[in-house]
Amino acid sequence: MTSERPSVEIKLVSDPMFLAGARELILGLTHRLGFKQDASGQIALAVDEALANVINHGYERQCDQPIWIKIWTTADEDEPGLRIHIEDEAKQIDPDSICGRDLDDVKPGGLGVHIIRQVMDTVVYEKKESCGMRLKMSKRLASDTNADQPEHSHG
Amino acid sequence: MTSERPSVEIKLVSDPMFLAGARELILGLTHRLGFKQDASGQIALAVDEALANVINHGYERQCDQPIWIKIWTTADEDEPGLRIHIEDEAKQIDPDSICGRDLDDVKPGGLGVHIIRQVMDTVVYEKKESCGMRLKMSKRLASDTNADQPEHSHG
Amino acid sequence: MADQADLEITWDSREGATILRPMGDVDLSRSPSLRNDIRKVFENPPEKVIVELSAVSYMDSSGVATLVEAMQLSRKSNAKLVLCCMTERVHSIFEIARLDQVFTISPDVDAALAE
Amino acid sequence: MADQADLEITWDSREGATILRPMGDVDLSRSPSLRNDIRKVFENPPEKVIVELSAVSYMDSSGVATLVEAMQLSRKSNAKLVLCCMTERVHSIFEIARLDQVFTISPDVDAALAE
Ligand SMILES: Nc1ncnc2c1ncn2[C@@H]1O[C@H](COP(=O)(O)OP(=O)(O)O)[C@@H](O)[C@H]1O
Ligand SMILES: Nc1ncnc2c1ncn2[C@@H]1O[C@H](COP(=O)(O)OP(=O)(O)O)[C@@H](O)[C@H]1O
Tally A–B CB contacts below 8 A.
Answer: 79
- The CATH T-level fold of domain D8-114 is Transcription Regulator spoIIAA (3.30.750)
What does the pLDDT look like over A67-80, one tens digit per residue? Answer: 999 999 986 666 78
> Nearest residue on chain D to A106, judged by CA atoms?
D68
CA–CA gap between residue B147 and residue D87 (Å, rounded):
35
Q: Is D46 helix (H, G, I), strand (E, B) or coil?
A: coil
Cα dist. C100→B56, C84, D81 in Å?
Answer: 25, 12, 52
CA–CA gap between residue D62 and residue D29 (Å, rounded):
9
CA–CA gap between residue A139 and residue D104 (Å, rounded):
32
Residue A78: list chain C partners with CB under 8 A: none
Atom of ligand 2 nearest to the CA of B111: 17
How do C104-106 and C80-84 pair as beta strands?
Answer: parallel
**CA-angle at A80, arms to C26 and B18, nearest 5°:** 35
**Residue C28 scores a pLDDT above 70:** yes
Cα dist. C29→B28, B91, C61, D53 in Å?
Answer: 21, 23, 12, 36
What does the pLDDT look like over D53-109, one tens digit per residue? Answer: 999 999 999 999 999 999 999 999 999 999 999 999 999 999 999 999 999 999 999
CB contact at 8 A, B25 and B6: no
pLDDT at A60: 98
Q: Nearest C-alpha of chain B: how many angstroms from D1?
A: 5
Q: Chain-centre distance of CA B40, in angstroms?
A: 13
What does the pLDDT look like over B39-50, one tens digit per residue? Answer: 999 999 999 999
Q: Nearest C-alpha of chain A: how many angstroms from B104?
A: 34
Neighbours of chain C (3+ CB pairs under 8 A): A, B
The average pLDDT across A21-27 equals 96
Q: Which ligand is closest in space to the CA of residue A116?
A: 1
Who lines ligand 2 at CB under 6 A? B 53-54, 56-58, 93, 98, 100, 109-114, 133
CA–CA gap between residue B114 and residue B85 (Å, rounded):
17
Neighbours of chain D (3+ CB pairs under 8 A): A, B
How do D48-52 and D80-84 pair as beta strands?
Answer: parallel
Q: Is A41 in the pocket of ligand 1 (CB under 6 A)?
A: no
The alpha carbon of A137 and the centre of ligand 1 are apart by a number of angstroms equal to 16
Q: What is the dihedral of CA A72, A73, A75, A76, to 10 degrees?
A: -20
Q: Is A8 helix (H, G, I), strand (E, B) or coil?
A: strand
Q: What is the share, in percent, of chain B residues with pLDDT greater than 90?
A: 81
Q: Domain A8-144 belongs to what architecture?
A: 2-Layer Sandwich (3.30)
Residue A71: list chain C partners with CB under 8 A: none
pLDDT at A142: 86
CA–CA gap between residue D4 and residue B66 (Å, rounded):
32
Is A13 within 8 Å of B17 when comparing Cβ atoms?
A: no
**Residue B3 scores a pLDDT above 90:** no
Q: Which of A31-35, B63-67, B131-135 has the lowest mean pLDDT?
A: A31-35
CA–CA gap between residue B2 and residue A33 (Å, rounded):
34
Q: Is A127 in the pocket of ligand 1 (CB under 6 A)?
A: no
* pLDDT bracket for residue C3 (50, 70, 90): low
Q: Is A111 in the pocket of ligand 1 (CB under 6 A)?
A: yes
The 8-class DSSP code of residue B78 comes to: S
CA–CA gap between residue B67 and residue B88 (Å, rounded):
5
* Of C47, C34, C103, the residue nearest C77 (C-alpha): C47
Contacts by D31-40 with C-beta closer than 8 Å and gap 24+?
D31/D7, D31/D60, D31/D62, D31/D63, D31/D65, D31/D66, D33/D5, D33/D6, D33/D7, D33/D9, D34/D7, D34/D9, D34/D63, D34/D66, D35/D66, D35/D69, D37/D9, D37/D11, D38/D66, D38/D69, D38/D70, D38/D73, D39/D73
The alpha carbon of A99 and the centre of ligand 1 are apart by a number of angstroms equal to 7
The alpha carbon of B95 and the centre of ligand 2 are apart by a number of angstroms equal to 10
Q: What is the dihedral of CA A66, A72, A73, A79, to 10 degrees?
A: -130
* pLDDT bracket for residue D6 (50, 70, 90): confident
The average pLDDT across C8-12 equals 96
Q: Do chains D and C touch (3 or more CB pairs under 8 A)?
A: no
- Domain ranges for chain D, please list them: 8-114
* Of B53, B29, B27, the residue nearest B109 (C-alpha): B53
pLDDT at D5: 66
